[in-house]
Amino acid sequence: MNTATYPNLGTIGSEYRNAGQPAVIDLWDPEHPREVDYPTFHASCDAIARGLTARGIRPQERIGILCSNRLEFLEIFFGAMRAGIIPVPIGILMPKATVEWIVRDANIRLVFCDGALRGNLPADAPCIDIDADGQRHYEAVKDPGPFEPFVPGHDDVAFQPYTSGSTGRPKGALLSHRAHSWVARSISTDRGFNPKDRMIVAAPLYHKHAMNSIKCVLVGGSAVILMRKFEPRAYIEAVNKHRATVLSGVPTIFAMLLQQRDLIGGHDYDFVRLCTMGGAPASDVLIDSVAATFPRAEIVTIYGTTETSAALFGPHPQRKPRPRHSVGWPVAGNEFRLVGEDGDGDFGTLYVKGPGMMNGYYNNPTEMARRYKDGWFDTGDVLRRDSEGWYYFVGRSDDMFVCSGNNIYPGEVELMLERHDDIDQAIVVPVPDEIKHRIPYAFIVKRAGSALGEAEVKKYALENAPPYQYPRRVIFVDALPLNGVGKIDRKALEARALAISESRDAVGA
């Protein structure tokens, strides 16, 4: 029997608990930011741990967090884990029926929520409305004083996020103290977080990207500049006002920032040392533009999944330069397979073994059996490996579609289109076709003032890619829709493309 003990994830950053520097700068109300130092933050987490324990909630039982980005989210999240209680972050944009299903599925004992979101909970769910009576109900949960943290074993669960549910209902991932204490320290060390850093976080905290950022900040004794939600102009203002040294987001976020040319220009951004991009491939044009705007920043492409962690790829062990677009070199302890049509090779769906793996899916053995095979987890993401051993993200296997017998990975076509000088952003989606099975349509955001037309885009594509990849229809838009975690809402664009296709067919008929 394994009786080893492991660090409690809720206590990360405790070595700074007596340091005077800020831990959180909360921009819930940007005109009245709340700045909390490390001693105050850790005392609040201890008070939450004591309060939940006093309410009779036991280790490995669950509480829910249905909150926007705010200081209280972090106090609850890390405080619960200190007591061995499992926080379940719930997406604030999920429909009421999905929220209710998660509360039931996870057998949640108590939910903390924004006042505006309380109506999405089951009527019989015990709830602490954080905004009620000027936060008096929330503060009453806290029991100030020292707290001896729960000591986890090998498989004790730290927190339980739910995946997006793109193929059905969301799936609860069981993430252990052991795995994610290792993940947090691995990422923070690789990216050089230190007490001088200030990282701006605008992605929702219920998503892995933002929560990984928070853990890196705490491990490094850094400060997080926490925005309620992403809004490009407010983001730029916060970067300048609070001197953010680390920026992170999907490529779309950076593209939207750079489109605010009147606001982002004219500033000296020498204080920005690191920009990380993940979730989708980034074009050379975008990377060059980010590098020109933040001239002293290292620009790093990152990759990770909820189930396998973000500590999969990092710098080369001998610090060899990372090639542009590479997600990095395998982090020690991880094993990878790329499974393609001809078996294992240098291109295909990524399968992973590693120390950051989840324990499994909660109450979902069927999905676990489908994705976890002989000790290997199927990420559903397509990557390639170059001759030296560097890895590159290509796209989601679910996004791939077949046109005239040829596999099209939208990310590859988008990168090609975004190399055009007059294209800021491009998204390619499939539309059904009686002859070719699926054909690509492209949604394009033009550079401001451009007179670019559909014929020119098609001509450019035919000159720079295989003919089956060129978009059969080009739709120009002012902006691309985002989903709840700041990624492009491909499903919304697919629906719009289908409606356009059917409309054209009807006219043709």
As a whole number of angstroms, the distance between CA 228 and CA 231 comes to: 9
Encoding tokens for residue 36? 């909390």
What confidence score (pLDDT) does residue 3 get? Answer: 61
Equal fold, 1-175 vs 404-508: no
Fold of the domain spanning 1-175: Rossmann fold (3.40.50)
d(CA 266, CA 80): 44
| Class for the domain spanning 404-508 | alpha beta
- According to DSSP, the β-strands at 127-129 and 108-113 are parallel
> What is the 3 state secondary structure string of 328-368?
EEECCCCEEEEEECCEECCEEEEEEECCCCCCEECCCHHHH
Please give the pLDDT value at position 281. Answer: 77
Helical (H) or strand (E) element with 54: helix 38-54
Q: How far apart are CA 159 and CA 153, in angstroms?
A: 14
CA distance 362 to 106: 8
Q: Which residue has the tokens 């990420």?
A: 379
For the chain, 509 residues long, give each residue's pLDDT as a single digit of tens.
456 789 999 999 999 999 989 999 999 999 999 999 999 999 999 999 999 999 999 999 999 999 999 999 999 999 999 999 999 999 998 889 999 999 999 999 999 999 999 999 999 999 999 999 888 999 999 999 999 999 999 999 999 999 865 456 889 999 999 999 999 999 999 999 999 999 999 999 998 889 999 999 999 999 999 999 999 999 999 999 999 999 998 888 898 899 898 899 889 999 999 999 887 778 888 899 999 999 999 999 999 999 999 899 999 999 999 999 999 999 999 999 999 877 788 999 999 999 999 999 999 999 899 899 888 999 999 999 999 999 999 888 888 888 878 888 888 898 899 889 899 889 999 999 888 889 999 999 998 889 999 999 999 999 998 888 989 999 999 988 887 666 788 889 999 999 998 886 654 43
How many angstroms separate the Cα of 321 from the Cα of each of 8, 276, 283, 385, 496? Answer: 35, 16, 19, 16, 42
Burial class from Cβ neighbours inside 10 Å (0-12, 13-18, 19+) for residue 50 reads: buried
Q: Under a CB-based contact definition with an 8 Å cutoff, are residues 113 and 141 in contact?
A: no
Q: Hey, is 209 helix, strand or coil?
A: helix
Please write down the HEC assignment for all residues of 125-174: CCEEECCHHHHHHHHHHCCCCCCCCCCCCCCCEEECCECCCCCCCCCEEE
Which structure tokens are listed for 412?
Answer: 């590859």
**pLDDT computed for residue 507 by the predictor:** 46
Joined together, the tokens standing for residue 200 give: 């701006």
Residues 3 and 174: beta-carbon distance below 8 Å: no
The Cα–Cα gap between 66 and 68 comes to 7
Name the DSSP letter for residue 447. P
How far is the C-alpha of 385 from the C-alpha of 326, rounded, in Å?
A: 9
The pLDDT of residue 406: 84
Looking at residue 290, its pLDDT comes to 94
Q: What is the dihedral of CA 498, 501, 507, 509, to 10 degrees?
A: -100
pLDDT number for residue 509: 37
State which H helix or E strand residue 432 sits in: strand 423-433
Confidence (pLDDT) at 250 = 83
User: What is the chain's Cα-based Rg?
Assistant: 23
* Domain segments of the chain as ranges: 1-175, 404-508
Half-sphere exposure of 76 (CA within 13 A, CB side): 28
- Please, is 426 exposed, middle or buried when counting C-beta atoms within 10 Å of its C-beta (0-12, 13-18, 19+)? buried
Is residue 489 classed as helix, strand or coil in its secondary structure?
A: coil
